[in-house]
Amino acid sequence: MSQLLQLHARLITSPPPPEAVDPNLVAVKLICAAAERSDPRHAALVFHVLRDPNIVAWNSLLRALALHRLHPAALHHFRRLLASGSPAPDEFTFTSVLKACAGLLARSDGEMAHALVLRRGFASNVFVGNSLIDMYFKFGRPDNAQSLFDEMLTRDVVTWNSLLSGYCSRGHLTTARRVFDEMPERSMISLSAMIIGYAQTGNLDAAREIFDEAIDTNVGCWNAMISGYAQNQKFSKAIALFRQMLNSHSVEPNEVTLVSVLSACAHSGALNYGRCIYRFIETKSMRLSLFLGNALADMYAKCGCIAEAKAVFGKMKERDVISWNTIITALAMHGHSEEAISMFHKMLDRSLRPNDITFMGILSACTHAGLVDAGLRYFDTMIKVFEVLPQVEHYGCIVDLLSRSGRLDEAEDLVNSMRVAPNEIVWGALLGGCKIYKDTSRGERVVQRILELDPKHTGSYVYLANLYDRMGRFDDAAKLSSMMRNNGVVKTPGCSWIEVDNTVHEFLMGDRSHPQTEKIYAMVSTLSVRMKLVGYAPDTTLVTQRIDEEEKENALSMHSEKLAVAFGLISTKDHSTIRVVKNLRVCDDCHRAMKVISNIVGREIVLRDRSRFHHFKEGQCSCKDYW
């Protein structure tokens, strides 16, 4: 862009004579170049100095605005063009205008533009027809789109793709498959659309069937399938398919591929493979673009490497609000609350406007560190200064913050005064405070509110079961068990993942399916003995089953994160860090156990649970037992 500005300056200081070069031609070149370099504002400024813009100049401006989703500005300039009376709009004018109407879901404007298309005689133009089909699908009117398709005398591959993608986006996969089967020519876009359509509905087998037919087509199909696996939480399959892509040597991964695989690595904790991808980026001398940088920083953060995440953030030449949100949220998750807050203020210093996700990061940072007054202050700033309306997640953070600090009355008053209806997560945050401070009467009341919203809320039943057992209300506990069965309540099984030698291993509670099960359980037994020798005693009150103490201790020892750590100990080098990801919140007993294990084996254990990271080292946790 800086070079383009230099050229523009030269044109201003030493302009060519008008008879030698048409000013419209020069303007069009400048507008297109500025738009391609993501500067539509400069493109608009160039256009506005033209004394007599021709239709090509108008079209260049409209295309630049539509390309960058500045749809209101595109429609504004289109109205100016019509009001001027000259020049007359052509087919390229309408393709940009129809795209703007579709992007805004502006039905009345779209219908008026369609009427102008008919009046001006462009209805038979294939480019305009394609834009109309896309627009009516965006309006949620597939019948109109199909009618336009049926009336078109000339169709190209884009026409068929527009119809196919439209049906896929609406979830009409039966019709989409019929269109797919009737297509005279299948392109990468049509194949990708079907793969994405099936993947979005969770039908991965059908998506894979299409993919296998198109495996040698090009990178778009690979991206669609890898993304489909990642979006359906089949992270291991996404990574395995990427490996297959590299081994095939027929298709070169692009930025979209790498972003999808990095997302899969982030969610499954596959740090080593994520590092391999970073080396791939450096080997290929790929530019650390905005999207790639964001994905890489997010991967490192979610795999427990906050220092590497910060290093990637520091290398990024371009940063947007997502970049800052990523690093702020990462610091909060890892318990670096003061640094997260500092980053927030640096973001403001750079005149970037925070959004709802930014404030989620800041409020989480305050929650994880117990910074009650700061959290309330930022919550107030969000609403009054930046006019960001709080969502249920923001309220959940504040309720959690107040509840953990023992301010249960304030927390409950906030829940009852929320601008949006509280969900089970918000009430669950209050229930967490009731559990910490043993406020049983409030806890029972909160549970009733949760079960009204979600009759299958497992945490509420577990809370009540523990409460009734402690109070000796065994008949009530039995009734609760019966209610759980009648309501079909099934406790979400704890699941943990650990990556060893570029392979992600999954463990469930009591899992015996792993090939090294015998060695894993032998390590669990060894750890149990060594832990008891240094004073650790399992917290058997967390086990609600009516079994004896020894069986309760045995049940606790088989929690998924303990099995994953045991596997890590037998499979990795001494003194190396063990990294585990868990789908649920770590329980009190496992948290205590991890501190003890980190001390007796001399290893750092990084555990990511549902809400944050815990770095266990030398018998201490980074959360300072506040989580």
- The CATH number assigned to the domain holding 40 equals 1.25.40.10
DSSP 8-state secondary structure symbol assigned to residue 353: P
> Token pair of 625, please?
């037992």
- For residues 572-595, one letter each, b for 16 or more C-beta atoms within 10 angstroms of the residue's C-beta and e for the rest, the string is beeeeebbbbbbbbbbebbbbbbb
Supply the pLDDT for residue 296. Answer: 96
Residues facing 605 on adjacent strands: 578, 616
Given a cut of 80, whether residue 483 has pLDDT beyond it is no
Q: Is 299 helix (H, G, I), strand (E, B) or coil?
A: helix
Residue type, 128: V
Strands 503-508 and 495-500, by their bridges, are antiparallel
Supply the pLDDT for residue 215. Answer: 59
CA angle 308, 313, 317 (to 5 degrees): 140
Q: Is residue 314 part of a domain?
A: no
Q: Is residue 61 part of a domain?
A: yes
Given a cut of 80, whether residue 280 has pLDDT beyond it is yes
Supply the pLDDT for residue 479. Answer: 80
Least confident of 273-282, 339-348, 538-547, 549-558: 538-547
> Token pair of 225, please?
């399938």
Supply the pLDDT for residue 546. Answer: 58
Q: Domain end: 134, 154, 174, which one?
A: 154
Supply the pLDDT for residue 71. Answer: 94
Q: Is residue 7 part of a domain?
A: yes
- Rounded to whole angstroms, the Cα distance separating 221 from 193 reads 9
Cα–chain-centroid distance for residue 286? 23
Q: Phi-psi category of 502—alpha, beta or left, where left has phi over 0 and alpha has psi -120 to 50? A: left
Q: Cα torsion for 66, 69, 73, 79, to the nearest 10°? A: 40
Percent of the chain with pLDDT over 70: 98
CB atoms within 10 A of CB 117: 23
In which band, very low, low, confident or very high, does the pLDDT at 217 lie, cut at 50, 70 and 90? low
Digit-coded pLDDT (tens) for 138-162: 999 999 999 999 999 899 989 998 9
In which band, very low, low, confident or very high, does the pLDDT at 544 lie, cut at 50, 70 and 90? low
Q: Domain end: 122, 154, 186, which one?
A: 154
CB atoms within 10 A of CB 513: 8
- Rounded to whole angstroms, the Cα distance separating 362 from 536 reads 35
Supply the pLDDT for residue 133. Answer: 96
Percent of the chain with pLDDT over 90: 57
Q: Domain end: 154, 175, 190, which one?
A: 154
- Rounded to whole angstroms, the Cα distance separating 269 from 561 reads 13
Counting the structural domains of the chain, the total is: 2
For 449, counting Cβ atoms within 10 Å of its Cβ (0-12 exposed, 13-18 middle, 19+ buried), the class is: middle
Annotate 43-54 with DSSP letters as a single string. Answer: HHHHHHT-SS--
Supply the pLDDT for residue 49. Answer: 87
In which band, very low, low, confident or very high, does the pLDDT at 334 lie, cut at 50, 70 and 90? very high
Which of 158-172, 213-227, 344-358, 424-438 has the largest mean confidence?
A: 344-358
> Token pair of 542, please?
């967390």
Peptide bond into 390 cis (omega under 30): no
User: Most distant CA pair in the chain: distance in Å?
Assistant: 98
Q: Is residue 456 part of a domain?
A: no
Residue 580 — φ and ψ, nearest 5°?
-130, 140
Average pLDDT over residues 523-541: 90
- Rounded to whole angstroms, the Cα distance separating 61 from 28 reads 8
Contacts of 419 (CB under 8 A, 6+ apart): 389, 390
Which residue range forms the structural domain that includes residue 50? 1-154
Q: Is residue 3 part of a domain?
A: yes
Average pLDDT over residues 409-419: 95
Which of 109-118, 221-230, 485-494 has the largest mean confidence?
A: 109-118
Q: How many helices (H) and strands (E) does the chain have?
A: 33, 6
Residue type, 484: M
Strands 613-617 and 605-608, by their bridges, are antiparallel
Q: Is residue 71 part of a domain?
A: yes
Digit-coded pLDDT (tens) for 59-98: 999 999 998 889 999 999 999 999 998 899 999 999 999 9
Given a cut of 70, whether residue 286 has pLDDT beyond it is yes
- Rounded to whole angstroms, the Cα distance separating 211 from 227 reads 12
In which band, very low, low, confident or very high, does the pLDDT at 547 lie, cut at 50, 70 and 90? low
- Rounded to whole angstroms, the Cα distance separating 59 from 129 reads 17
- Rounded to whole angstroms, the Cα distance separating 402 from 412 reads 9
In which band, very low, low, confident or very high, does the pLDDT at 542 lie, cut at 50, 70 and 90? low
Q: Is residue 288 part of a domain?
A: no
Average pLDDT, the chain: 90
Average pLDDT over residues 125-133: 95
Answer yes or no: are the C-beta atoms of 138 and 145 closer than 8 Å: no
Q: Is residue 463 part of a domain?
A: no
Given a cut of 90, whether residue 214 has pLDDT beyond it is no
CB atoms within 10 A of CB 71: 21
Size (the chain), residues:
627
Residue 134 — φ and ψ, nearest 5°?
-60, -45
Residue type, 182: E
Peptide bond into 87 cis (omega under 30): yes
Measuring CA to CA, how many Å separate 357 from each of 322, 336, 353?
A: 9, 18, 11
Average pLDDT over residues 237-247: 90
In which band, very low, low, confident or very high, does the pLDDT at 548 lie, cut at 50, 70 and 90? low
DSSP 8-state secondary structure symbol assigned to residue 516: T
For 518, counting Cβ atoms within 10 Å of its Cβ (0-12 exposed, 13-18 middle, 19+ buried), the class is: exposed
Average pLDDT over residues 534-561: 79
Contacts of 626 (CB under 8 A, 6+ apart): 368, 369, 370, 404
